[in-house]
Structure 1
């Protein structure tokens, strides 16, 4: 079963502004780093097994030339407003998942190799996979990630450098709430993609629940997340 790796919030603020702004709200975000090939940078807030990523354009020229699907969606969405945009699910074998999705009839991006340069100069590496979809007002599918290191290794390193504090690991992203125009249609599409049964208007993952709510007068996007202790 898939697990939520992170949710993505598109913003025009730089990582330092996010760190200062969100600390006032009582949480502990940190500056993430730069995606040098995409022209973007981020701030991050970790919970016990997933995190929030605030993603912004650092170099518009590089970003506009990028073919990376999330960067293309960022440039499309940020014209209207800041807000939650998409989410990423964790896998330990993206090559196998890619073959499975193609067998199911989906077109994919193929495996994308990625890296982020942290403030300390460290390179963190991962692989990504996107389901092809038109970037418009309809709900984008989740995308997928396979980290170079296991979650245990990553979290041990993040504890050591102070990115994750004990209070971070007391929290969890319990629910991800999507606003869509046709709840049944989106449930059917996502249930098929993720091989998950539906229950009412929800899909249950290993570490969170997806909730689909009807909203006819807005873009179809991830709208809200609920963070709880436990």
Structure 2
């Protein structure tokens, strides 16, 4: 399956505050816009290779609870646990081919579902989203897929100024997430993306299995069963001249040198 990592979703009560905090640390960040049909709004921080962080907040809880979009359903559920990373997406230029791939590999796709918002300059951004019917019994969560209305070349030109940061050329290189069944999660992702055996190792968060997908590394950890979670808990940003650990709104950003 030909996909590239697109973005990591960070649920927060006040996206504008996360944006301001990142600007104070030397990043370029922007207000995104509102999604009236979902009851949400966002702010963004873009990195090399069209990767970005989306800080998303719920402005209209009733709309969010009833809109029927699987991502928003997940955000509403995660909100009960608190702020933090929630989901992540891979980009494709052929969402129909991805849906066919999912079916061949034994998954049930949901969608594509439309999405849109209006930028501050008046341009309407459009996209399609594809989800996977959950067959995990809550042991882990699958990503979703997105196809933008504009091609990568158009988006690269428009977003180029936003991918430049005062602190350096920054890229999002990895995501770490919890599972309630490490082997099952890894095998699920291998089946999803047709991947080989994972690399294994241990770091400050514990033992992990790592898969390379769409230009980034995904590290899977077994959750502490006293505090069960299947959410991503940290990501790594590389390209800065100094190392830093940023804790904000329930999520950890590990900043490191190239």
1:16 aligns with 16
Worse overlay, 138-147 or 167-176? 167-176
Q: Compute the displacement of 1:26 (Å).
A: 2.5
2:247 aligns with none
Compute the TM-score of the two structures, normalised by the length of structure 2. 0.82
Name the SS for the 1:163 alignment partner: helix
1:219 aligns with 229
Worse overlay, 64-73 or 104-113? 104-113
Name the SS for the 2:190 alignment partner: helix
2:215 aligns with 207
Compute the TM-score of the two structures, normalised by the length of structure 1. 0.91
- Which runs of structure 1 show a deviation greater than 6 angstroms over 4 or more consecutive aligned residues? none
In the alignment, is the contact (CA less than 8 A) between 1:48 and 1:169 conserved in 2? no
Matches within 5 A, 1:22-101: 22-49=22-49, 50-101=51-102
Looking at structure 2, the residues matched to 10 and 188 of structure 1 have their Cα atoms a distance apart, in angstroms, of 27
Looking at structure 2, the residues matched to 169 and 115 of structure 1 have their Cα atoms a distance apart, in angstroms, of 31
Change (3 A) 1:60 1:206: closer
Q: Compute the displacement of 1:103 (Å).
A: 2.7
RMSD: 2.0
Looking at structure 1, the residues matched to 137 and 164 of structure 2 have their Cα atoms a distance apart, in angstroms, of 38
Q: Compute the displacement of 1:137 (Å).
A: 5.2
Name the SS for the 2:74 alignment partner: helix
2:154 aligns with 153
- Cα distance per residue 1:48-103 (max 9 Å; x no partner): 02010111112222112110001001110011110011110011111111122123
Change (3 A) 1:24 1:168: closer
Name the SS for the 1:111 alignment partner: strand
Q: Compute the displacement of 1:46 (Å).
A: 0.5
Looking at structure 2, the residues matched to 142 and 136 of structure 1 have their Cα atoms a distance apart, in angstroms, of 15
1:124 aligns with 2:125: yes
Q: Which runs of 5+ in 2 are unaligned?
A: 200-208, 240-257
Name the SS for the 2:97 alignment partner: helix
Q: Compute the displacement of 1:145 (Å).
A: 0.6
Looking at structure 1, the residues matched to 233 and 215 of structure 2 have their Cα atoms a distance apart, in angstroms, of 18
Name the SS for the 1:31 alignment partner: strand
Looking at structure 2, the residues matched to 194 and 134 of structure 1 have their Cα atoms a distance apart, in angstroms, of 16
Looking at structure 1, the residues matched to 167 and 173 of structure 2 have their Cα atoms a distance apart, in angstroms, of 14
Worse overlay, 65-74 or 216-225? 216-225
1:163 aligns with 162
Name the SS for the 1:153 alignment partner: helix
Q: Compute the displacement of 1:155 (Å).
A: 2.0
Worse overlay, 164-173 or 143-152? 164-173
Change (3 A) 1:195 1:169: farther
- Cα distance per residue 1:107-150 (max 9 Å; x no partner): 12121111122223321111110001279854220000111112
Q: Which runs of 5+ in 1 are unaligned?
A: none
